[in-house]
Each structure stands twice: as structure tokens, then as C-alpha cells.
Amino acid sequence: MSETASSTASPSASFSEGLATPLQFVKGVGPRVALTLQKIGLHTVEDLLYHFPHRYEDRSNFRPLGRTRHNETVCTSGEVCSVTVDRTARQGLLLTRVLIQDTSSAAELVFFRQPWLKDVFNRLKGKRICVYGLVDRQGGRPTFRHPEWEELSDESDSLHVNRIVPVHPLTEGLAAKTLRTIAFNTVQKYAVLVPDVLPRELTRRLQLMDVVPAMVQIHFPESTVALEAARRRLVFDELFLLQMALAKRKRAMGEQLPGIPFEIKPAVLQELTDSLPFELTAAQRRVIGEIQADMAMPRPMNRLLQGDVGSGKTIVAAAAILTAVRAGYQAALMVPTEILAEQHYTVLARLLEPMGLTVRRLVGSVRQKGKRIIKEETAMGQADLLIGTHAIIQESVDFHRLGLAVVDEQHRFGVLQRLTLLDKGITDTTPHLLVMTATPIPRTLALTVYGDLDVSVIDELPPNRKPIRTHWKSKAYAPQVYNGVRKLIAEGKQVYIVCPLVEESEKLQARAATELAEHLSTEVFPDLRVGLLHGQMPSSEKDETMELFRMRELDVLVATVVIEVGVDVPNACCMIIEDAERFGLAQLHQLRGRVGRGEDQSYCVLLGDPKNDEGRLRLEAMVETCDGFRIAEVDLKLRGPGEFYGTRQSGLLRLRIANITGDTEILELARREAFDLVDRDPELKELDHHRLRDFLEEKYSDIILATVG
């Protein structure tokens, strides 16, 4: 194997040549096993080479049988003494029992429904075998049930024992030994073809292992030191290539069309702060400064604004909008739901219209005549700010001088929708772009998913906000929880009750909410005013229900996740979430953020009986903290980056070996090196960069061109 590791790939070969060989032609595979491998996405040699082990077992040291302990996984060995086949007393199952011994003790190997093993072990009597498995010593003598085993010889160079053994992800019908053997055959023959595309200067300076020996050692490590060095190289490769793609995308966006340099006047921020009944937090002032500095540049701003629920992102957006309008341009605010559009319209119109701005909203519930007038005002430049759902990116909507596009809850929009909004700008220029999210994103994920955006974080809540007290109760305690609701309402407060999540369809979700509202209004709270809000209601009806709740004409609002964002009713100080274990952690945090918006103490009660550890950990995290960034870190660890809320449509590559929650140091290094390299050699014209350039064009063009094509 060391000879294979010392070889190098031909730099002139296509990156796909050889590596695209179908797996059925690999030694030990064939058509039948190839079909099984396809179940876990393994079709080609390249797929298998990058199907890395998910853990390793150190089977390099044999433990004497007499020193094995109960419930411990060990690697041991012994001489085969006898083999018998009998049936269990209760179920009549065939059991094959094999007795082995060494100088310290004896042990029994037990195999269910494999009577043919009797002949195998009879031939091995008097010979030494290696055994790996879990020890059961409850009967005194150590017993191994269905262990891995194989015959030992002095010259044995086993893949499965007497070494650090890789354990690969499997599928039904595929044994660990089988896949390990196939992986060995693949690595032996094809690892040499893996291209080393990193600049040689970079690998030397960072003292990274060459890629071919790294590929060999990651699958079949000779030592823990070699394994760590191999993993570091392959993790760096994966993160560096992704960061190179993001760095090139960011540069391409900046070069595509020039931005609009705004004249930033200090009086603009003063004008805004003078109109507010509260002081801006230090974090809000810092972030507004970062945004205005971007807007003063001749390149388009591309900034992600993160802020926890209630941190004051809307005021920051208002500052950016006012800056654009005072510079002689228009602004657009695109949001995912009509409820959020109405919420923003109410807040921003009340704030900006007294300063002379014209604020308009374009949503489905506006009548056709009203829509026509709003579109005319926008096209003529009479509307300074247009707020709406994806309706504002329709072809029939034109802006006179769009200088700023703001996208709220941006994870709900695809890249193409954001691009379409930017295309509404003035010919030959690109509007500044500010994307906002109230779903806090861990720094490592932000660098990976939004590496082409500059990131601003509002990491401070207004001083008068009280932490929401969160409790987790079994559903058996629902009557007591409802009694607590009744007490709060008697004090003049209002309550949200979120119905259980139904995944199948919005219609089923609406029906579940309707049934819950009916149950609560007739059997639990017959004397209270119970309202209903779900996504299948007409827009006018939704607006009317929310207005009734705001005006305190309703005591309890039964709702689906349609209230997840944008709903702001300060008098609502309690939220009950039914079957809370059905919701994702980020969604639970977003829902909880609908309360705690006034000065009174607020509460969130999670009613649920989780059936697994992940559900329990989610609810425990909600009880433990109200910090959205800590919630996000827990969520990322529980679900991984591919499933993290909002990342599936963002262009995030499936990471095959890197762990962004654990490889932070390598991620930071890879990002720094990638962005420095693109700054020094944007087109990768230097000779040492040609392989990297060709590889990025072949493998990463979809990411590089995702926002500039």
C-alpha cells in the first residue's frame, strides 16, 4: 500500500478520467453488489473514494481473554477448541457455539441462524482466530454474540483485525467486511488518480500531506498520527475549495456591474434617532455604521444582517432605507408572507412617513386598481419604499431609481428571486443588497453558506426586554397549563396557542388548527374569545383576525406556524406550543419570539412527550436558554449543516469529511488562504494555480456562477 501512496496523479489527466469508472468493474463488486452500493449513492470509483469511514476501531492490540470486561468492545484471539449446533428452548432458533481459548481463559462465540459455520470452524480446530466484538460476562465466561472474526497467520496482513480498522457507512444487504474489502481494492488501484489541485507553495507552507497518501491513510491508516494528518489534509481541501468558489463568486458579483456610491450624511441617522421613543443599542449603531460604509462604496453592498428575535433589525433596515432615499433613490423590502409584509408596512409607514417618505405595500390582498396605482407610483419614483412578497419581483413592477434591496427572512427565498429583485435596478448598476434573518446562524455555518456576503450581527437586545420564561410540560399537564392561561387572561393579557405540526399538507394543518380551536372554544375556554389563524384562510380574513387580536378583541389566538415571523402584539405574553417535539429547534425559537415584546414578563410552555433523544434535547435547549445563537449551535450539532434550517437552498455543498462544528480552526485557515489567493491572482493565471483553476471550473462552476449568471 505504501507504494500506491507514493505515486502522483498526472496533472494533465481529466479530473473525471478513471475516477468515473463504474463500481461494478472494481474487484469484488460485480453487478449485484453494485446495485446495493447505489442505495447509498455510490456509483463510481470517485464516489467510493470519497465515501470516508465515519469512525475507526483500534484492533491493533489483542486483549487476553482473561482480561476482558463485561460490556466492553475488544479485539482478542484464541485457538478454536470445539463447535456445536443446538436450538434455543423457547423459540427453537439454531445456535452455533464456538469455544476458543488462550493461555489466560476460554470464551464462547455465539452465532444465530448460521448452522453452516459448524463446518467452517471444524476445519479451524487447533488454529488461532482473531475476534472483535462486545463482551458479555454475565454467565462468568466471556461470550461474544455475532463477533467479527477471521483466521490468523504469522504473515496475515488483515483488513479487519490487528490494525486500526475503518468503519464505513453501510446499507441493508452490505456487510462491513464486504465494503471494507471493496474500499481496499478501490484505494489500491485508483487512489493514484485523485488530483492534487492545491498550489504546491500552499501545501508546503502549511505542511499538508500530499493528497494521494492522504486518501490511502484516511481509508486504511497505519497509525493515529497518519490518520490525523490525512484527515487534516482532506478537510482542508474540502473547505478550501468551497471557500475558493465563494471568494470567486463574491469577486464576480463585485465586478459584474458597479454599485451606486451614496453620499452618507450624519444628519440622516440623527433624523432617525430623533424620531424614536428609545435609544439605539450600541450593536444597532455599529451595524448601521457597517451598512452605511458599504453603501458609500462604488461596489454593490452584499451584506447579511443577523439578529435574534427582538434585537431591532427593523430599525437597522429603516436606517438603510432612509439613507438610500435621502441619497435620491428608492428602496424595496421583500418578505416571504403577507402577514410579515403588513407588519413591516405598519411599523415602517408609522416611522418613515412623518419624515416625508412615501411607503407602499404590494401584496395579494390589495385590489387590482390599488395594485395598478402602486405600480405607477413606483415606476414614476413617487413611492420611496415598496414593501411586498415575491409579487414585487413580477415583470410588471418597475422602479424609477432602485438603490437598495432589502430581503427579510432571506432563507425563504432562492438565489434567483434575490437576483430578480436586483435586476429592477438602474441600467448598468446593481442596487445595494441587505439580507436579514432572525434565525441566528453559527459563525462557522455563515462562513460556509454565506461566505460571499459580509456579515453583520446585532448581538445585543434592547435593555427593557425580559427573558422569556420557558417551561416543558408533559401533555398530561395540559389542564393545569390551561388554568394558567385563564389566570393571565383574567389579568388582561392575551395568549397564543400553536397547534401541532402536521407535515403532510397545509390543508391538513389548517384542519388540525380548526379542530383545536373548536375544542378549545367549546370545551376548555367556552367563556373566552378564541380566534383562529392558519395559512389556508383568505388574506383579508387573516388580516382581520390579526387586527382583532391586536385590538384585544380576542383573548386566545389558535394558530399554525403562519405566525412564526412578523407578528408583533406586545400584550400577548404567553405562548403554548402543542406537541412541541414535532417542531424543529429554530422554529420553536422563532415561535417563542412572538411573545416577550412588551414590558411584562412573558412565558412559553412546551407541551410534549418526545419519543427520542433528539426531541428531548431540543426541548431541553429551549428551556435552558433564550439566546438564539446558542440555540442555533445546538440545532447545528443535532441536525448537521445539510439539514440546518434554511441551508438546503443556499448553495451549501454536502460536506463529506469536514465538520463545521468541530473543524473551526481549519475552516478559518481555509477561508483566509482562499480569499488571499483570489485577491493576489483573481483569474488563477499563475502556473502553480492552473490545476486549481481547471478543477474549480469543472467541479464548482455552479456555485461560482450561482448569483452572477
What are 178-194's pLDDT values in tens digits? 899 999 999 999 999 99
Better pLDDT: 534 or 205 = 205
Cα separation, 145 vs 147, in Å, equals 6
Weakest mean pLDDT among 143-152, 435-444, 529-538 = 435-444
Beta strands in 120-205 (DSSP E): 128-136, 143-145, 148-151, 164-167
- Interval 600-622: pLDDT, tens: 899 999 999 998 888 899 999 99
Q: Where are the domains of the chain?
A: 61-162, 312-437, 469-625
CB 703 within 8 A of CB 245: yes
**Which cell numbers in the block locate residue 497?**
396557542
Q: Which of 86-90, 236-240, 490-494 has the lowest mean pLDDT?
A: 86-90
- Averaged pLDDT score across all residues of the chain: 85
| CATH fold of 61-162 | OB fold (Dihydrolipoamide Acetyltransferase, E2P) (2.40.50)
CB neighbour list of residue 539: distance below 8 Å, 6 or more residues apart: 338, 363, 364, 365
Distance CA 579, CA 140 (A): 46
Please tell me the distance from the alpha carbon of residue 108 to that of residue 506, in angstroms, as a whole number: 57
Binning pLDDT at 50, 70 and 90, where does residue 375 land?
very high
Predicted TM-score of the model (pTM)? 0.64
| Contact status, residue 215 vs residue 239, Cβ threshold 8 Å | no
- Is 312-437 the same fold as 61-162? no
Neighbours of 73 (CB within 10 A): 13
375-399 CB burial, b ≥16 within 10 A, e <16: bebbeeeebbbbbbbebbbeeebeb
User: In the structure, what pLDDT confidence band is assigned to residue 645 with cuts at 50, 70 and 90?
Assistant: very low
Tell me the CA distances in angstroms from 299 to 355, 400, 401, 418, 433, one per residue in order.
28, 20, 17, 17, 11
State the Cα–Cα distance between residues 588 and 624, nearest whole angstrom. Answer: 13
Cell of 218: 484516511
Pairing of strands 73-87, 94-101: antiparallel
Mean pLDDT, residues 537-551 taken together:
87
Q: Is the pLDDT of residue 531 over 70?
A: yes
Nearest to 26 by CA among 179, 166, 217: 179
Q: Is 371 left (phi over 0), alpha (psi -120 to 50) or beta?
A: alpha
pLDDT tens, position by position, 427-463: 677 889 898 887 777 777 777 766 667 888 888 877 7
575, 615, 664, 578: which is closest to 309 by C-alpha?
Answer: 575
Using one digit for the tens of pLDDT, what is the confidence trace for 218-236? 999 999 999 999 999 999 9
Instruction: Classify domain 469-625 at the CATH class level.
Output: alpha beta
Q: What is the DSSP letter of 22?
A: B
Specify the CATH architecture of the domain 312-437.
3-Layer(aba) Sandwich (3.40)
Beta-carbon count within 10 A of 324 CB: 28
